[in-house]
Amino acid sequence: LIPDRTALPTVDALYLKAVTDSIAGEHAAAVKSYSEIARLAPNDAQVFVDLGRAYERNNETDKAIENFVKAASVNAQYATAYLRAGIVYARKQETASATAAFDRSESLYQTLGNVEGVNEVLRNRGVLFRRTARYDDARAQFLHCRWTDVDAHLALQIDPCRGYGCACPILTCFDSVPQ
C-alpha cells in the first residue's frame, strides 16, 4: 500500500510497523515499536493501551497492566484503559483489582452513553464471576448485558435477531452458566 514508508511521519511509520508485527505474530517487535511511540508521545493514553495490548499478546501481563495503569494516569476518563486492566487482572485471578477496574470502566462508559463499552465490561465481569464460581453474580451480569444489548438494537429500530434467533456472543456466555 505504501511503497516508501520513509515518507511517513515517524510515529505513523512506527504504528504501521507495530500493527504489521502484531498481525504477523511478532509481538516482541510490536512491543519495541509501541515503546518507541510511547517515548515520542508520552501524553497520549491510547499509545499506552496499544503498548499494553502488545505486552498482553507477548504474555507479559505485569507490563501490560503497568501500561494500562499508565494510560489511565495520562487520561483518567479513558474507559478502555480500565477495561483492559480489568481483563488482565481477571486473567491473573486478582479479583479485587479486576472488579475495581471493571467498576471504573463501566462508570465511564455509562457516562459516555457507550452501550457497547458497558456490555463489554458486563461480559468480562460475568466471565470473572463465572471463573470464581459466583454463578448468580455471573448470571446477573450476562442478563443485564443481554437486555442492554437488546435495548440498544431496539433503539436503533433494527431486529436484534435478524429473524434467525439471537447470535449475540453474550447470550452464548449466559447459556454456559450452570443452572
Cα three-residue angle 88-175-151, rounded to 5 degrees? 85
Residue 8 main-chain phi, psi, to 5 deg: -80, 150
Residue pair 70/48 in contact (Cβ under 8 Å)? The answer is yes
CB 106 within 8 Å of CB 73:
no
> How high is the pLDDT of residue 169?
45
Kindly indicate the confidence band of residue 6, based on its pLDDT and cuts at 50, 70 and 90.
confident
Task: Measure the CA angle with vertex 107, ends 106 and 112; round to 5°.
Answer: 95
Q: Which letter does DSSP use for residue 7 in this model?
A: G
Chain segment 134-146, per-residue pLDDT in tens: 999 988 898 887 5
Residue 146: predicted pLDDT: 53
Conformational region of residue 168, where left means phi above 0, alpha means psi within -120 to 50, and beta covers everything else? beta
Res. 157: pLDDT tops 90: no
Coil, strand or helix at 82? helix
Q: What is the pTM of this model?
A: 0.80
Q: How confident is the model at residue 147 (pLDDT cuts 50, 70, 90)?
A: low
Could you read off the pLDDT of 90-112 as tens digits, one per residue?
Answer: 999 999 999 999 999 999 999 99
**What does the pLDDT average to over 49-66?**
97
